[in-house]
Amino acid sequence: KPFWLKALKVVCSGPSAVAPPRALLGADGRLAGGRQVCVVWLCMSTFIDRLVFPAPTPTYSRETFKKHLCWIPWNEAVSPDRMDDERFAEGIPCLWLPAPRAAGVILFCHGNAEDLGMCFPFVKHMRDQFKMNVLAVEYPGYGLLHGVSVCEAALKEVALTAFRFILDDLKVAYEQIILFGRSVGSGPTVYLASRFPVGGLILVAAFASVREAAKSLVGGIIANVLDERFPNISLIGNVSCPTLFIHGEKDSLVPPSHSVALFKNSRARKLLITPPGMEHNTNLFTDAQFLAVPAINFFGLPGYQQECPPQMPARFFEDGRQQFLLRKSSRRRSTLRRDAGGGGATESNPWFFLCGCPTSRAKQREGNVMEPRRDSTVEARLEALLADENKGDPSSAARDVAATAARTQVGEKSTGLDSPRTWTAWRDVQEFGEEEINHKLTLA
């Protein structure tokens, strides 16, 4: 049997095998008819995920990088289902390597066969070489990030969470962020660069798409059946930031033609470097011509410096579970306080009634339990008009009420537009005018 079929059998029978959904099972509990095809397709999908994301045995622990290992919390807007789940209380493990006075940050997404422990020497050298802060994010199923299945959506989720963390918590501007993706890391970085106006993008050994890369591994027929993952070739045209492509000519895993295709489809300022002696996993700092010289000249590194560079708060180096409990308690108190306060700022603002919208006034009346206070002078005139409701037509009655209220307010000493008495009288006149018109039209 071919290699991919043997591996597929292992995937479908291993500890992480895909269980057949109940909809695919017959009355006897076995797969019914053509439903076997669906299960085979699911197993193939899992098989490809395990090929694309071969997570190694964790090479670091909590005590390995005490000064650099931090835990970024899940973002409520990106991962609402994980915010209150204690299984994800620790957050996302990342490496933070600060550079003195550096204003910019490089967000690094590593390759598929390494974790943060294996790429630490590289990101440390990159920090020292480029004089920029570096934040390296871990992938689901890699290193210390457990409990999350590895797939395309999960990688995008953690990358977007780290990106939002740089913007919201570290207070770094878009143009001061450079995205760096190597191999499979090119997928989430191209995804972010196509959506946000970042300062730059570095792609090393990038692929046009996982399907195109799989053709050289399992053949074109099988690759075409699989779902597409990381379609970089269709997103690169939306990238507007300067982009540096680096791909070794001796790369046998992902042919350099992938970077050439991405380079041709890019519409931003771009540069393609194809070192003759570079392979897929070659150390980029063994030769300055691989990465250091092209990146420094193309982006003008080290870039801007400032007296108050981005600082990682100390709480993110501590146990993420404790921070999770504190955030959960704070959200609970905020919810209770909001429920106890009731009402909204819109309803308490007198300018809310200037629009004259009947729906808005109806909502205001439904929200109030007690009747609003009414001006005595206006009440007397309204009662007199109700007693003589058969005289005059509806439109004239409404105009008379409005004119009477206007004369009354002009004669009195008003305390200004912010006076509750003035706004109460004006609102009551408007409501009565509408009710009177409807009543007269019904009688007619």
**Residues 101-127: what's their mean pLDDT?**
95
Question: Per-residue pLDDT tens for 186-200?
Answer: 999 999 999 999 999
pLDDT for res 319:
72
Bigger pLDDT: 426 or 259? 259
Question: Per-residue pLDDT tens for 157-172?
Answer: 999 999 999 999 999 9
Output the average pLDDT for the chain.
Answer: 77
**Residues 401-416: what's their mean pLDDT?**
52
pLDDT for res 335:
79
**Residues 221-238: what's their mean pLDDT?**
83
Percent of the chain at pLDDT > 70 equals 63
Question: Per-residue pLDDT tens for 117-129?
Answer: 999 999 999 999 9
pLDDT band, residue 90 (cuts 50/70/90) = confident
pLDDT band, residue 97 (cuts 50/70/90) = very high
pLDDT band, residue 8 (cuts 50/70/90) = very low
pLDDT for res 191:
97
pLDDT band, residue 54 (cuts 50/70/90) = confident
pTM of the model: 0.68
Is residue 414's pLDDT more than 50?
A: no
pLDDT for res 260:
96
Is residue 109's pLDDT more than 70?
A: yes
Is residue 285's pLDDT more than 70?
A: yes
**Residues 416-431: what's their mean pLDDT?**
55
CA atoms 436, 437, 440, 441: torsion sign: negative
Question: Per-residue pLDDT tens for 292-302?
Answer: 999 999 999 98
Bigger pLDDT: 198 or 34? 198
Bigger pLDDT: 50 or 246? 246
pLDDT band, residue 175 (cuts 50/70/90) = very high
